[in-house]
Amino acid sequence: MTALNGVWRNWARTETVKPVRVERPGSIAAVQRAVTGAVRSGLRIKAVGAGHSFTGIAVATGVLLDLDELSGIVAVDRDRGRVTLLAGTHLYDLPRLLRPHGLALTNMGDIDRQTIAGAISTGTHGTGSEFGGISTQVVGATLVTADGELLTIDESQNSDLLPAVAVGLGALGILVEVTLQCVPAFVLEAVERPQALDEVLGGLDALVQENDHFEFYWFPGTRIASTKTNSRLPSSTPMRPLGRMRSFVDDSLMTNGVFRVTCAAGTVVPAIIPRVNALAEQLWSNRTFSDHSHRVFATSRTVRFREMEYAVPAADVPVVLAEIDALIRERGWRISFPIEVRFAAADTLWLSTASGRASGYIAVHRYFREDHTEYFQAVEEIMARHSGRPHWGKLHTLDATALAALYPRHGEFVALRDRLDPARAFSNAYLDRVLGA
């Protein structure tokens, strides 16, 4: 995401910065030298991955570390199904790397552009009431601390730090290696179909609890939800993948191509948005297919947008959606992007959005050429009434004081940051806001 003129922009174009210098280390030793050099020069240093965070979590005003060359498998523990990866490895490369070992990620989000370090640092997640985010699959990590030394965290070394480092926000050091607990490769059967929104919300507990992975999208102003249910099957199961033409029409032509055109048109003539959303109800996927897990979990997203996502107690999801629906109707807003709803199991990670509670994730979006500010602020007020926790990589306005009230271990994380990075070599404006300066 670094342009030729030295200006870095994230994918959503919400953050732009021209760092003092850009370094592309090809080894862990080179990362150590970069950190030592930055500290000696009095510069802050940040590693960036794919630039897929909407917040400024990866903004580097001093030294920007591009870790693309720090990619690939370091080691495989076949007996335990564990794989150690270099931190710059992209999620979309993992199927190719894991296939020879018969392994797969337990769960994935719906985008695979991120690096493994970026994904766990921001708390990237998928959906499934029995499954946590990618960070819950982390069983070990190595990072370069502010003094240029390596800190290894696993079951036998500094194990007490793993719940902090697994969602570390990039605030504790530069991740250089990550060890994941994988599972045997498996097949997913996907059933995608439109359903009445009231029917979905009325039976939500059963849909979430009785299926391996359940999620849905809802266009504001309509009463139809697009549901997606994924069932886990053994790798030996005969697959029925989408044909090339069906995949092109559904995912490339309709989901991205036509949707891009309608979003752009809606910015010029907002009055057409309700009619476009009503048409989307009729065009939503109604299909069943099965394929390797990663091909079902992840989808292509080429329409640029802005996003805010909050985790609320899973039981609160219907109420929160009703409040958002009432808000949009009251304000008369025409929202062209659907609201996305997913679920995750409770975990024990200090800064995970699902820490200590089963969570429902509600994400709101706006096309990147539309002003998202008023909509997101109003939705954020609703989330606050339900103890919502914002996704670290998506837009929000909360500061350290507000977040400390939402995360019981927030203070302990800040204390660990004080110990590992007292001079704030790895900080930036976003981290100063959410953790305190």
pLDDT tens digit sequence for 384-410? 999 999 999 999 999 999 999 999 999
pLDDT at 322 over 70: yes
What gap in Å lies between CA 216 and CA 249, rounded to an integer?
20
Pairing type for strands 213-218 and 339-344 reads antiparallel
Order of strands, sheet of 63-66, starting from the edge strand that comes earlier in the sequence: 21-23, 63-66, 45-48
Please tell me whether residues 180 and 191 are part of one structural domain. no
Asked if residue 276 belongs to a domain, the reply is yes
Please tell me whether residues 172 and 205 are part of one structural domain. no
Asked if residue 416 belongs to a domain, the reply is no
Q: Which of these ranges, 122-126, 133-137, 285-289, 321-325, has the smallest mean pLDDT?
A: 285-289
**pLDDT band at residue 6 using 50, 70 and 90 as cut-offs:** confident
Please tell me whether residues 208 and 333 are part of one structural domain. yes
Greater model confidence, 243 or 23:
23
What gap in Å lies between CA 152 and CA 158, rounded to an integer?
7
Distance separating the N- and C-terminal Cα atoms of the chain: 27
The pLDDT assigned to 261 comes to: 53
Please tell me whether residues 151 and 35 are part of one structural domain. no
Asked if residue 433 belongs to a domain, the reply is no
| Cα three-residue angle 327-333-320, rounded to 5 degrees | 25
- Residues 18-41: tens digit of each pLDDT: 999 999 999 999 999 999 999 999
Please tell me whether residues 350 and 302 are part of one structural domain. yes
Please tell me whether residues 172 and 237 are part of one structural domain. no
pTM of the model: 0.93
Please tell me whether residues 321 and 248 are part of one structural domain. yes
pLDDT at 231 over 90: yes
Per the structure, the count of domains in the chain is 3
What gap in Å lies between CA 104 and CA 293, rounded to an integer?
8
> Any long-range contacts for 250-253 (C-beta under 8 Å, 24+ apart)?
250/285, 250/287, 251/299, 251/300, 252/300
Mean pLDDT of 153-179: 98
pLDDT at 10 over 80: yes
Please tell me whether residues 138 and 223 are part of one structural domain. no
The pLDDT assigned to 32 comes to: 98
* CATH number of residue 92's parent domain: 3.30.465.10
Given 390, 405, 423, the domain boundary residue is 390
Asked if residue 398 belongs to a domain, the reply is no
Closest CA to 109 of 119, 118, 117: 119
Asked if residue 407 belongs to a domain, the reply is no
Given 390, 410, 431, the domain boundary residue is 390
Please tell me whether residues 168 and 208 are part of one structural domain. no
pLDDT at 364 over 80: yes
Pair 190, 230: CB distance under 8 Å: yes
Handedness of CA 171, 81, 114, 209 (dihedral sign): negative
Q: Which domain holds residue 48?
A: 8-66
